[in-house]
Amino acid sequence: MTRIRFADALPLFSAAARLGLRRSRAAVRRTEIASPLAPGSRIEAGAGAVLVLARSGATAIARGLGLTSAEADEAWAQGVLTGLTVLVPGSAPVALLCRIDQGTASAELHLSPRGAVPEGAAAAVPLAAIAARLLDRAPQLRRVGVTIPEGHPLGAALVAAGFVDEGWAAPVHGTGESRMFTTLRA
């Protein structure tokens, strides 16, 4: 009969304990964070404004950015997906998707490839207003990032509005090369 010696079992028990601890820490980090932006609401931002879209608008933007209908519906049901329309005087309405990543406690705003890209510094004001609202009303969030096309002049306006240029960002479906601009909780 084979007997397990304590010295042989100790590494297995310690590995199991480390794995359990790692899983419990990961569960704590995945705090439930839902979007504080209510569908149908309007955020005034200088001369512009931001409209928070209903489910159909949010899932349509999500599908345009490469999510399947099932993924978009699941994200909406979890409260981590919000569709936005940015209205800036002198520019076409801009469609944005806000996705909250509960694992990193961050919100990311992505321009829809189907919509217009905002022009000039006036567009940075509504984006900064969205970021401020998210950080103010969702205390669990640590950062808000905005992904825009590489080389777009909106980048300089975002930096002037207090965002940090993080450099290259992974391209979002249909948008080509991108840059990420981030604002952090103070």
Q: What is the pLDDT of residues 151-175, one digit of tens each?
A: 887 888 899 989 999 988 776 666 6
pLDDT-derived band of residue 41, with 50, 70 and 90 as boundaries? Answer: very high
Q: Measured between alpha carbons, how far is 124 from 131 in angstroms, rounded to an integer?
A: 11
Report which of 47, 156, 46, 154 is spatially closest to residue 109, judged by C-alpha positions.
154
Helices (H), the chain: 6-29, 55-64, 69-78, 124-137, 154-160
C-alpha pair distances (Å), 65 with each of 58, 68, 90, 114: 11, 9, 25, 9
Mean pLDDT of the chain: 83
Query: Which residues are CB-neighbours of 63 under 8 A, at least 6 positions away?
Result: 69, 72
Summarised one tens digit per residue, pLDDT across range 96-150 is 899 998 888 899 998 776 556 666 667 788 889 999 999 998 888 999 999 888 8
Tell me, what's the pLDDT at 13? 77
Query: Which residues are CB-neighbours of 171 under 8 A, at least 6 positions away?
Result: 177, 178
pTM of the predicted structure, to 2 decimals: 0.75
Q: Measured between alpha carbons, how far is 163 from 45 in angstroms, rounded to an integer?
A: 16
Q: DSSP labels for 110-137?
A: EE-TTSPPP-SGGGHHHHHHHHHHHHHH
Is residue 80 within 8 Å of residue 102, measured between CB atoms? yes
What is 32-184's CATH topology?
Aminopeptidase (3.40.630)
Going from N- to C-terminal start, the domains of the chain cover 32-184
Summarised one tens digit per residue, pLDDT across range 75-95 is 999 889 999 999 888 888 888
Query: What DSSP designation does 92 have?
Result: -
